[in-house]
Amino acid sequence: MHIRFTKMQGAGNDFVVLDETRGALGLSKAQYRWLADRHFGVGADQILTVRPSPGPGLDFEYIIHNADGGEVEHCGNGARCFVRYVRDKGLTDRNPVRVKVQQGELSLRLNDDGRVTVDMGPPTFELGRIPFNSQDLDPQTRGAWEQWPLQLTTDRQVLVSVLSMGNPHAVMLVDDVDTAPVREWGPQIENHPRFPARVNAGFLQVVDRSHVRLRVFERGTGETLACGTGACAAVVAGIRLGLLDNEVDVQTHGGVLTIAWQDDATHTAPVLMTGPATTVFEGEVDVPDVD
Ligand SMILES: N[C@@H](CCC[C@H](N)C(=O)O)C(=O)O
């Protein structure tokens, strides 16, 4: 199958963007995996597919596949690239743009400085909806919130905060992201049996109340240069643990994302994420029939 694609990146989290607004491409899971493959395909952390509006009040729908070919609920950096794509391609002149993703609807605004602000909606803390199995675990209190002990190996236990930004996140505090064992502990947390849908593992270093450094080992992809939902989850966790103010610059290996969350007693305020979204190149490719 011969297809056109656009290669994009947001803070170094990179995407192959496909247009299905004029008809479905019908790619299989294995073909998404092939497109994401950096050696045999185009190469990307995720594949974003733009579709027409599924209903009233919505401008588009977009779906997300991880590099392993699995479809996922949400992608923060991808959302910013999505809006840059539909505006640059002339598919809409609306601002903000409203889009359906698997777990709800998002509102995205292209700012005058070229960055994009996404209303990511409220975080979810209900353990069963993350999903996280806390049976027989005793949480430790820090600030006004909790951290859960997670046994990684017989002799290693870590503390994580768990929440969903539409997709599942476990956030652990580290002294220094540069020396944190992200590549070793990341897969152990991602595939931990306490997370039945697997999880994105964030490693958060608090610099001061409005600056953090973050690395994320993403479910279905591995470590990326930035993770938008991971940045939201890390800042929400930092705020609830009493460590951060309501607006925080998150330094990732690929750039800075600004996350704002006006928390109150209900913890239901939406999280706002602002960051870059850039087109890298356009291309065409023959996608093989792969298994
Ligand atoms: N890179 C993304 C998150 C993509 C999905 C994630 N790997 C998952 O499986 O939930 C972001 O910017 O949020």
Residue 45 CA, closest ligand 1 atom number: 1
The per-residue pLDDT for range 31-41, each reduced to its tens digit, is 999 999 999 99
pLDDT digits (tens, 9 = 90+) for 166-184: 999 999 999 999 999 999 9
Model confidence at 7, in pLDDT bands (50, 70, 90)?
very high
Asked if 233 and 74 count as a contact pair (C-beta separation under 8 A), the reply is no
Torsion, Cα of 134, 138, 143, 144 (10° steps): 60
Per-residue pLDDT reduced to its tens digit, 202-229: 999 999 999 999 999 999 999 999 999 9
Q: For the chain, what are the domain ranges? A: 2-118+277-286, 127-269
| The pLDDT value given to residue 144 | 87
Average pLDDT in the chain: 97
Query: Which CATH number among 3.10.310.10, 2.120.10.70, 3.40.50.970, 3.40.50.2300 corresponds to the domain 2-118+277-286?
Result: 3.10.310.10
Ligand 1 centre distance from Cα of residue 44 (Å): 12
Helix and strand numbers, DSSP H then E, in the chain: 4, 19
Residue 279's pLDDT is 98
Q: Do 127-269 and 2-118+277-286 have the same topology in CATH?
A: yes
**CATH architecture observed for domain 127-269:** Roll (3.10)
The protein residue with its alpha carbon nearest to ligand 1, atom 1, reads 227
Asked if the model's pLDDT at residue 19 lies above 90, the reply is: yes
Q: Phi, psi at residue 72, to the nearest 5°?
A: -130, 170
**12 annotated ligand binder:** no
Task: Say what the pLDDT of residue 10 is.
Answer: 98
Q: Report how far Cα 152 is from the mean position of its chain's Cα atoms.
A: 23
Amino acid residing at 86? V
- How sure is the predictor about 103, in pLDDT bands with cuts at 50, 70 and 90? confident
pLDDT score for 291: 85
Instruction: Find the radius of gyration of the CA atoms of the chain.
Output: 18
| Phi/psi of residue 257, nearest 5 degrees | -115, 140
pTM exceeds cut of 0.80: yes
